[in-house]
Amino acid sequence: MDISEKLIYLDNAATSQIPDEVLRDILSQLQYNFGNPNAKYKVGSFANDFLETSRHVVASRIGALSNEIYFTSGATESNNWAFYSVLNQQENVPSVITSAIEHESVLEPLKHLEREGKIKLKIIDVDGKGRLLVHDYLKAFDSSTVLVSIMYANNEIGTIQDIELLSQIAHSHGALFHCDAVQAVGHEYFDLHILNNIDYLSASAHKFHGPKGIGFLYVKEGCPLNPLLYGGGQEMKMRSGTQNVPYIVAMAEALEWSLYKKEHYEELFEAWQNYLIDTLCSEISGCMLTGSSSHRLNHLCSFVIDGVDTETLLMLLDQDGICVSAGSACSSGSLEISHVLKAIGLDDSVSRGALRISYSYLNTFEEIKYAAQKIIDAVKRCRSFTGDF
């Protein structure tokens, strides 16, 4: 097949494709392992064995204990669950620290709690590359600080935070530390025995080639956790409801598959990233990389392109069978100006030309090169419509 006839999917930070190996697991589980894992007869016990094996796999791949992993519907649920478990039990109004570039599933529940008068929220600025301003972070702590929530890597610009340092600082001030690790799990190596100041960690399977609607919350042993749903007492009596065993098994398989592939794609991804940055920034006037050039995910490139309307650019690329994005796809399809780009100091006029490219182990360098040329061509067409440049 000619590459121009293919769909080239380069929006893996929004969601990722399910590889054949993981899809076979889902279908096999749906067909043959249909039992309720909480039933006491053999069919139920068989399903429970798969459930607990998957829990062990997920735990071992991030350096956790099996009893520290709770299966959820995804990171939005996991984030909310962690926050409400910590904050609903406070006698006085506590303060919570987060950053200006967090995902909406972190910022919105915290802002909601602030509006209800239940917390004092302190939002810390970042520098022009998206790295947290540590001096401001240190000044934000006081005796009422009980929780910090900082993402491992940003979903729009790919910048990685110094989570080891930030979590140590939080603990030194007596605060619990939550990490939204959605963009990092399956893409970065985790060992929570080493990152031992992380108390809560959230992840979604569909960001690392698993199905949508399944994720997990890591809760360090001994940290507060209140029941999320009441009923039959599943998930160690903390989240009632029959577990989705086929998707849980698929998530564990997807995590193993992604980390195995990472070993073989590390250098390739760095080469692809360098190619995209060098090519687009040299061939397109007014194109600038956003985020850190050194502390960033290696499967994600993000740019702002002056004199280009993102919506038009994405439409033209879609006509060429290329799927890229402006940034986060988790805000009801909104193409509003990104709060992340505002936080790193970009003007609205520049931010309207945002472009995010995120590739996966299912892509090829041929696709990367083809997409880069199509982006260059599409930018020229966009500018021809307005007469810019």
Residues annotated catalytic, as ranges: 330
Q: Give Rg (Cα) of the chain.
A: 22
* Whether the Cβ atoms of residue 131 and residue 104 lie closer than 8 Å to each other: no
Tokens at residue 285, please?
A: 């006037």
Look at the alpha carbons of 127, 133, 139, 142 in this order and tell me if their dihedral is positive or negative: positive
Q: Tell me how many degrees the CA angle 37-41-45 measures, rounded to the nearest 5.
A: 40
Tell me which long-range contacts 46-54 makes (C-beta under 8 A, separation of at least 24).
47/245, 50/245, 50/248, 50/249, 51/243, 51/245, 51/248, 51/249, 53/252, 54/245, 54/248, 54/249, 54/251, 54/252
**Any residues with CB less than 8 A from the CB of 2 and at least 6 apart, and which?**
none
Q: How far apart are CA 245 and CA 273, in angstroms?
A: 36
Q: How far apart are CA 161 and CA 34, in angstroms?
A: 41
Residue reference for tokens 């007869």: 41
